[in-house]
Structure 1
Amino acid sequence: MRDKVIISCAVTGAVHTPTMSDALPITPEQIAAQSIEAARAGAAIVHLHARNPADGRPTPDPDVYAQFIPTIETNTDAVINITTGGAPGMSIQDRLSAAARFKPEVCSLNMGSINFALHHIAGRYSSWKHPWEKAWIEGSDDSVFRNSFRDIRLILETLTVDGAKFEHECYDVGHLYNLAHFVDAGLVKPPFFIQMVFGILGGIGADLDNLVFMKRTADRLFGSENFQWSVLAAGKFQMPFITQSVLMGGHVRVGLEDSLLLGRGRLATSNAEQVEKAARIVRELGKEPATPNEARALLGLKGRVRAAA
């Protein structure tokens, strides 16, 4: 298992907007189809958000999730990972609603509040497909993505009773210390899964020294035997950083939530295209993409449970 690399695919997210890429899946049918293709390309985990199918706006509505989760489960053995981050501005109750209903094997969990901003890219677009998009992007200069200690505790206590494990998203080194607080409190137990996030404006920068520092800090706080770790990086940093993660013994996350690109100046045509490239990188470096069941074993997951109707 030391030579197995878990590839996660974050299929749509809540920050990129329909104008930015025609490949970004919006409708339940598109999200299901791209998730299935990503799993067949080598993704062991699919990380899921939902969008309003009419205009692509992020939605926490479990009834929208219900239009694609059963299809993904029927057609793949992938580990389902439902966001509890949702989108900036959603209430904590909204952010919990889909995960509480579907009781997935994994839920994402942001380990601290950040200024999550994309306002600096608004000028790249002269027109927008939907009226909400421009204000959504430009307004991120005044947006705080809230994840208080009370919020994190509520998510842990609500979902742990159903056997969920968490993709602990750490956007800065302080988030590792926040995770250590909950480990010390007994609310997070090994083996746990740390997703180190680089290159978001408001979080730690996409410098390789920062990756080394984050990993070294995690080792010191938790002991390397107690956690699995993965790397994602925004935009143009995506592929270089996942390559470095594999070289250092970590796992990787790709997907159109994190980057719309396949390479410098080239938009990806699908999530599967990014997964295929990640799988090639993994194999070129002498390792193999983990199967969903291998990912379950590495992360100590409860196993597949059918989605709620």
Structure 2
Amino acid sequence: MTATLITVAPTGAEHEKSAVPHLPTALDELIETATACAAAGAAMIHVHLRDEEHRPTLDPGRLGEAVAALREATDLIVQLSTGGSVHDPLESRLRVLDAAPDSCSLTCGTLNFGDDIFMNPFGFMSDLYVLAQERQVVPEFELFDLGHIGALSRLIDRHGLPFGGKVHVDFVTGVPGGMPATPAALLAGVAMLPPEVTSWSATGIGRGHLPVLATTLAAGGHARVGMEDNTIYAKGQPVEHNSELVVRAARLATEMQRPPMATTSAREFLGIRAG
């Protein structure tokens, strides 16, 4: 690879605004964040939305409004989370695609998620896969554990390649209940990827952020950063803006002779329709 796809995940569904006041939870905050992160080197934004009380929401109107606003303000690839929060029903998660994003997340298995259970039964995964094919939305396959790689192969075997013909996966490491955020665990997962996979990225939750980022860049992968996954920039130094994490990832990628990938190139790279 000669360039690095940088995805920013600015909000997530876990952090509370009261505990992380710089978390972008209002739409104007999300747009400001997206604009700054695009300028810093991000090509894709992974979106979770919050309601007026800063609680996670999959409200269809809010999703559609956010997609339209992000497209008007930036040229970023807009990826909506179909995970929502661990409490969202499966039917609501399928309706995320009604907002017509460029991309969506597709988590490849159920797992313990801290004290909760993140439900992703195979029937739901299969329905989401086919719906994304029909809607011409490119999925990003989220792998929280090594067993999820087998589920990904099963989906491809059953339904063929996703829309766009590319298979991009993202290792989410460091969730309590999933694979640890260590170089060894990440590289074990990369070694297990099926031949249909055309690219991969990774993120490390919390303290695993930098080790996973460095390993990913060295091993030819791509980067996901953002306050969804990491709210501490360095010991004793909270993240004040998502762009700080994008700037650092872009700097490290450039030092590794793999500068940030432009959005136009990223669309072609992932098999996404032109914006």
Fold conserved between structures, TM > 0.5: yes
Residue aligning to 2:14: 15
SS at match of 1:222: coil
Rg bigger for which structure?
A: 1
Runs (5+) with no aligned partner, structure 1: 118-140, 305-309
Residue aligning to 2:57: 59
Aligned amino acid, residue 8 of structure 1: T
Aligned amino acid, residue 174 of structure 1: G
Residue aligning to 1:113: 110
Q: Contact between 1:239 and 1:278, CA under 8 Å: does it hold in 2?
A: no
Q: How many Å apart are 1:178 and its aligned residue?
A: 0.3
Q: What does the per-residue CA deviation read over 1:193-247, in whole Å, with 9 as the maximum and x for residues that have no partner?
A: 11011111010011211111100001xx225xx4210011101211221121011
Q: Contact between 2:181 and 2:204, CA under 8 Å: does it hold in 1?
A: yes
Query: Partners of 1:83 and 1:66 in 2: how far apart?
Result: 13
Runs (5+) with no aligned partner, structure 2: none
Q: Which moved more, 1:5-14 or 1:188-197?
A: 188-197
Query: Partners of 1:149 and 1:29 in 2: how far apart?
Result: 36
Aligned amino acid, residue 266 of structure 1: Q
Q: Contact between 1:157 and 1:187, CA under 8 Å: does it hold in 2?
A: no
Query: Partners of 2:62 and 2:100 in 1: how far apart?
Result: 15
Residue aligning to 2:170: 195
SS at match of 1:39: helix
| The one of 87, 90, 109 aligned to 1:89 | 87
TM-score, normalised relative to structure 2: 0.95
Residue aligning to 2:230: 259
Q: Contact between 1:113 and 1:145, CA under 8 Å: does it hold in 2?
A: yes
Aligned amino acid, residue 264 of structure 1: K
Residue aligning to 2:44: 45
Please give the residue correspondences for 1:167-178 in structure 2 after superposition, counting only pairs within 5 Å.
167-178=140-151
Residue aligning to 1:204: 179
Aligned amino acid, residue 166 of structure 1: P
Aligned amino acid, residue 256 of structure 1: M
Query: Partners of 2:8 and 2:61 in 1: how far apart?
Result: 22
Please give the residue correspondences for 1:213-292 in structure 2 after superposition, counting only pairs within 5 Å.
213-218=188-193, 221-222=194-195, 226-292=197-263
Query: Partners of 1:258 and 1:192 in 2: how far apart?
Result: 23
SS at match of 1:273: helix
Query: Partners of 2:61 and 2:102 in 1: how far apart?
Result: 19
Q: What does the per-residue CA deviation read over 1:87-108, in whole Å, with 9 as the maximum and x for residues that have no partner?
A: 11111121122322x2122101
Query: Partners of 2:188 and 2:236 in 1: how far apart?
Result: 29
What do you get for the CA RMSD once the two structures are aligned?
Answer: 1.3
SS at match of 1:169: strand
SS at match of 2:84: coil
Q: How many Å apart are 1:257 and its aligned residue?
A: 0.7
Aligned amino acid, residue 196 of structure 1: F
Q: How many Å apart are 1:187 and its aligned residue?
A: 4.0
